[in-house]
């Protein structure tokens, strides 16, 4: 973020106190902060009591071998039992768990906890029949249909790890994830609906299976949900229809209690290298934090609230705040298959009106696109049931915050700006809607139970009014346990930068990769990534990953990718490419060819906004690409200091080319 933007943020003086009714009945009060800080382990142990444990833990936290944590040591539980069975046993079987809204209008289903229970048990039995056993990895590549939730819970129920891959990722990206975690099983669908048309998924799985086989990994079984009814290629030795598999089995399944540290899932996310990292989450601590944060941050009143999180299950938000948090709490929620503005721009607001949604959780990029369409659209709907609004995925700019609060929240519902990451597993920094007077653009302070700070390059806590790097200074229950198969990378990526905070080698601080500022009141403003990770519409992408994709094209010699500031998507991808000599000028369709290539290697979300063919890239004498300069060019701002470049005339060439292309 530029220093101008920083300065303008610091002048953002508006404050919004919690509404009285909310404050009076808030789930968590001001005192929780002090209680949690005074004795964090007891505080978390109390939160763990939200769950049903088959065996109680004997130790809250084992941090003897940092950064490898164990939470609720010795405890045993089943995540699926906690999300489903126990609500049925408590007499809530007839309560709606999911108001599912399909993309085609009128294609809806209400699923009660009792129905969800039967579905999860059947799916668990079907997975066992297919040969899935505890510890196996099951890749899930599905649209937003109830079976996706059922599949995740069925895996958890039998102790298999799910690895959900976002349906927008390409066959190549899917294959890379299947191979990295050596998944023997894949659950998918023939296709899903997007903007009124059926879009295929199964062919990507077939392709990924071939690609994995070429790399020596054989997928044993693929379970296919029939969603769109479109034609699919079929291999009898591998493919099984979901409906056939689940119809043949019993709806009774006795859940087994697993160790608190039994792995629950692997979720891939982008890092600073070309290979996505498999973030490992385990059971007891993760589920505790998912349930606690969902209850505290949204002030969940489980008997009356209708909750809706618009995230896709392919991202961590979909895991924690669509599956594990709300279901562990026994909430009623909306699950939506479609896109916000199809078939008409008011689709989301119509859903809020129809289902009387009271808690709504979405991303700033969506809010900004609605702002563009104007106030008249949401004004047509009754949004008066909304009482808490959440934001996640990227910094929310004050104007979007104000619009969200005023137009969607009727100037009544507080906005909670929640900062967290795939790695943290649950929200770390956020206002509490009944306690905190919110400031537009600030995630405020760590929630009770979490300790964070902003530190200098040297690892010293910065004073109020200054910026630095965001760190988490104490372990927390839903922290990632490692990177799948790569403990070294885990230590290196997150724990080495501020080890000891420059003070004490035994102090382990988690480096989040974000820059942040403490304002004069000590409130936190998260400014965005300080590494080579981009954030495009709240989706996390690595510059290196896209560079590798470009370089894998036969005509490309070298590539540099940067994320430049963008009004709508937060950041947009700009790629600078040097062609190989033998490719000449690349031919008339070179830009389209390269764009399609990136789409094929990663997926449509990684498509560059602009690709520029350049003669050279700006490099230091030691050969490091100075992306900062390319970002200046892409953002159209003055190009910064070029004195460390090996050849400073390069930037003139690139700037001229960029100007000519606009
Ligand atoms: C990165 C994590 C965890 C939810 C979805 C994204 C950015 C996330 C905020 C926020 C400012 C935010 C950070 C973070 N981010 N929430 N409220 N304010 N920045 O998960 O894909 O793991 O990305 O998203 O840069 O490091 P993710």
- Cα 317 to ligand 1 centroid, rounded to whole Å: 10
- Across the range 53-72, mean pLDDT stands at 97
Rounded CA-CA distance 469/462 in Å is 9
Strand order in the sheet with 510-518: 452-455, 467-472, 510-518, 524-529
Q: What is the DSSP letter of 460?
A: P
From 660, 640, 658, 659, select the one nearest 576 (Cα to Cα).
658
Specify the pLDDT at position 656. Answer: 80
- Across the range 423-431, mean pLDDT stands at 98
Per-residue CA distances from 486 to 138, 260, 421, 513, 543 (Å): 19, 21, 19, 19, 21
Query: pLDDT at residue 132 above 60?
Result: yes
- Helix H or strand E segment including 525: strand 524-529
- Cα 499 to ligand 1 centroid, rounded to whole Å: 23
- Across the range 435-461, mean pLDDT stands at 95
pLDDT band at 11 (very low <50, low <70, confident <90, very high): low
Query: pLDDT at residue 500 above 80?
Result: no
Q: What percent of the chain has pLDDT over 70?
A: 97
pLDDT band at 326 (very low <50, low <70, confident <90, very high): very high
From 603, 605, 107, select the one nearest 337 (Cα to Cα).
107
Specify the pLDDT at position 303. Answer: 98
590-604 confidence digits (pLDDT tens): 999 999 999 999 999
β-sheet bridge partners, residue 542: 533
Q: Answer whether 420 contacts ligand 1 (Cβ < 6 A).
A: yes
Atom of ligand 1 at shortest range from CA of 270:
21
Decide if 539 contacts 491 (C-beta within 8 A): no
pLDDT band at 648 (very low <50, low <70, confident <90, very high): confident
CB proximity list for 193: less than 8 A, separation 6 or greater: 102, 103, 104, 143, 199, 227, 228, 337, 338
Query: pLDDT at residue 8 above 60?
Result: no
- Across the range 7-21, mean pLDDT stands at 78
Query: pLDDT at residue 9 above 70?
Result: no
Question: How many C-beta neighbours within 10 Å does residue 309 have?
Answer: 25
Tokens of 338: 């479609």
pLDDT band at 638 (very low <50, low <70, confident <90, very high): confident
- Across the range 111-138, mean pLDDT stands at 98
pLDDT band at 1 (very low <50, low <70, confident <90, very high): very low
- The rounded Cα 348 to chain-centroid distance in angstroms is 20
The tally of CA atoms less than 13 A away on the side-chain side of residue 509 is: 27
Query: pLDDT at residue 180 above 60?
Result: yes
Atom of ligand 1 at shortest range from CA of 430:
17
Residues placed in the known binding site for Mg(2+) = 551, 553, 556
Q: Answer whether 143 contacts ligand 1 (Cβ < 6 A).
A: no
The residue among 477 and 339 whose pLDDT is bigger is 477
Q: State which of 420, 452, 537 you would mutate to test the pocket of ligand 1, scoring each by most atoms of that ligand within 8 A of its C-beta.
A: 420
From 1, 26, 9, select the one nearest 431 (Cα to Cα).
26
Query: pLDDT at residue 501 above 60?
Result: no
Decide if 645 contacts 651 (C-beta within 8 A): yes
- Cα 419 to ligand 1 centroid, rounded to whole Å: 6
Specify the pLDDT at position 335. Answer: 98
β-sheet bridge partners, residue 579: 556
Q: Answer whether 418 contacts ligand 1 (Cβ < 6 A).
A: yes
The residue among 540 and 183 whose pLDDT is bigger is 183
Q: Answer whether 392 contacts ligand 1 (Cβ < 6 A).
A: yes
Specify the pLDDT at position 645. Answer: 79
Range with the poorest average pLDDT among 333-347, 459-473, 540-554, 642-656:
642-656
Tokens of 180: 């990295």
Atom of ligand 1 at shortest range from CA of 528:
25
Query: pLDDT at residue 558 above 70?
Result: yes
Q: What is the DSSP letter of 84?
A: I
pLDDT band at 233 (very low <50, low <70, confident <90, very high): very high
> By three-state DSSP, how is residue 592 classified?
helix
> What is the value of pTM for the model shown?
0.93
368-409 confidence digits (pLDDT tens): 999 989 999 999 999 999 999 999 999 999 999 999 999 999
- Cα 375 to ligand 1 centroid, rounded to whole Å: 27
Decide if 472 contacts 510 (C-beta within 8 A): yes
The tally of CA atoms less than 13 A away on the side-chain side of residue 161 is: 25
The residue among 123 and 623 whose pLDDT is bigger is 123
- Across the range 447-472, mean pLDDT stands at 95
Tokens of 513: 């990769």
pLDDT band at 283 (very low <50, low <70, confident <90, very high): very high
Residues placed in the known binding site = 194-197, 317, 393-395, 417-422, 514, 529, 537, 540, 551, 553, 556, 599
Q: State which of 269, 444, 526, 527 you would mutate to test the pocket of ligand 1, scoring each by most atoms of that ligand within 8 A of its C-beta.
A: 526
Query: pLDDT at residue 565 above 70?
Result: yes
Specify the pLDDT at position 503. Answer: 59
Specify the pLDDT at position 526. Answer: 94
Atom of ligand 1 at shortest range from CA of 538:
6
Q: Which residue's alpha carbon is nearest to atom 11 within ligand 1?
A: 395
Range with the poorest average pLDDT among 326-330, 362-366, 454-458, 634-638:
634-638
Per-residue CA distances from 376 to 390, 413, 557, 662 (Å): 22, 19, 50, 33
- What's the mean per-residue pLDDT of the chain? 94
pLDDT band at 264 (very low <50, low <70, confident <90, very high): very high
Specify the pLDDT at position 332. Answer: 98
Specify the pLDDT at position 647. Answer: 80
pLDDT band at 79 (very low <50, low <70, confident <90, very high): very high
Where would I find the H helices in 132-182? 146-158, 171-180
Specify the pLDDT at position 619. Answer: 85
From 404, 408, 398, 393, select the one nearest 442 (Cα to Cα).
398
Q: Answer whether 164 contacts ligand 1 (Cβ < 6 A).
A: no
- Across the range 180-190, mean pLDDT stands at 98
Query: pLDDT at residue 553 above 90?
Result: yes
ipTM of the complex: 0.99
Q: Answer whether 277 contacts ligand 1 (Cβ < 6 A).
A: no
Range with the poorest average pLDDT among 141-150, 338-347, 613-622:
613-622
The residue among 336 and 528 whose pLDDT is bigger is 336
Specify the pLDDT at position 83. Answer: 98
Range with the poorest average pLDDT among 31-35, 266-270, 645-649:
645-649
Q: State which of 535, 605, 606 you would mutate to test the pocket of ligand 1, scoring each by most atoms of that ligand within 8 A of its C-beta.
A: 535
């Amino acid at each position: 973020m530029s220093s101008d933007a920083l300065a303008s943020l610091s002048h953002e003086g508006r404050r919004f106190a919690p509404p009285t009714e909310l404050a009076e009945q808030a789930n968590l009060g001001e005192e929780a902060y002090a209680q949690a800080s005074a004795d964090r382990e007891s505080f978390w142990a109390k939160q763990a009591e939200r769950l049903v444990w088959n065996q109680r833990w004997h130790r809250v936290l084992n941090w003897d071998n940092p950064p490898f944590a164990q939470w609720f040591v010795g405890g045993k539980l089943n995540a699926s039992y906690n999300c489903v069975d126990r609500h049925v046993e408590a007499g809530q079987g007839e309560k709606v768990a999911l108001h599912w809204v399909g993309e085609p209008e009128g294609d809806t289903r209400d699923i009660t906890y009792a129905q969800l229970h039967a579905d999860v048990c059947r799916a668990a039995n079907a997975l066992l029949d297919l040969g899935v056993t505890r510890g196996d990895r099951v890749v899930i590549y599905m649209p937003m249909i109830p079976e996706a939730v059922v599949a995740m819970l069925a895996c958890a129920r039998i102790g298999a790890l799910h690895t959900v891959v976002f349906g927008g990722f390409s066959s190549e990206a899917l294959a890379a994830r299947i191979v990295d975690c050596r998944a023997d099983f894949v659950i998918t669908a023939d296709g899903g609906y997007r903007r009124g048309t059926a879009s295929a998924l199964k062919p990507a799985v077939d392709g990924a299976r071939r690609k994995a086989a070429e790399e020596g990994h054989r997928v044993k079984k693929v379970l296919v949900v029939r969603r769109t009814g479109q034609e699919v290629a079929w291999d009898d030795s591998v493919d099984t229809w979901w409906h056939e598999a689940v119809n043949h089995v019993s709806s009774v399944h006795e859940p087994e209690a697993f160790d608190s540290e039994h792995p629950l899932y692997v979720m891939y996310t982008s890092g600073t290298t070309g290979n996505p990292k498999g973030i490992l989450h385990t059971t007891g601590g993760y589920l505790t934090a998912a349930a606690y944060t969902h209850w505290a941050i949204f002030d969940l009143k489980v008997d009356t609230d209708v909750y809706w999180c618009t995230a896709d299950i392919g991202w961590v938000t979909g895991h924690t705040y669509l599956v594990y948090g709300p279901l562990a709490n026994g909430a009623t929620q909306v699950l939506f298959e479609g896109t916000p503005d199809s078939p008409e721009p008011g689709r989301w607001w119509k859903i809020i009106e129809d289902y009387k949604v009271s808690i709504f959780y979405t991303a700033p990029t969506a809010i900004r696109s609605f702002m563009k369409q104007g106030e008249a659209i949401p004004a047509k709907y009754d949004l008066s049931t909304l009482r808490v609004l959440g934001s996640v995925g990227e910094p929310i700019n004050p104007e979007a915050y104000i619009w969200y609060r005023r137009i969607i929240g009727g100037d009544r519902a507080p906005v909670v700006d929640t900062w967290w990451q795939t790695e943290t597993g649950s929200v770390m920094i956020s206002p509490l809607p009944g306690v905190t007077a919110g400031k537009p653009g600030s995630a405020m302070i760590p929630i009770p139970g979490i300790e964070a700070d902003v530190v200098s390059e040297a690892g010293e806590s910065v004073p109020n009014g200054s910026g630095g790097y965001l760190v988490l200074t104490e372990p927390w229950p839903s922290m990632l346990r490692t990177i799948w198969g790569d403990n070294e990378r885990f230590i290196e990526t997150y724990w080495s930068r501020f080890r000891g905070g420059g003070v004490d080698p035994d102090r382990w601080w988690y480096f989040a990769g974000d820059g942040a500022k403490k304002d004069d009141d000590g409130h936190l403003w998260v400014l965005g990534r300080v590494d080579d990770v981009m954030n495009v519409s709240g989706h996390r992408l690595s510059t290196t990953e896209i560079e590798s994709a470009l370089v894998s094209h036969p005509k490309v010699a070298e590539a540099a990718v940067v994320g430049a500031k963008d009004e709508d998507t937060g950041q947009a991808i700009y790629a600078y490419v040097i062609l190989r000599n033998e490719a000449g000028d690349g031919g008339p369709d070179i830009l389209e060819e390269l764009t399609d290539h990136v789409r094929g290697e990663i997926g449509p979300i990684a498509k560059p906004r602009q690709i520029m063919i350049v003669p050279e890239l700006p490099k230091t004498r030691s050969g490091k690409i100075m992306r900062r300069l390319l970002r200046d060019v892409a953002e159209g701002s003055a190009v910064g200091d070029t004195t460390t470049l090996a050849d400073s005339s390069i930037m003139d060439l690139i700037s001229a080319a960029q100007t000519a292309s606009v």
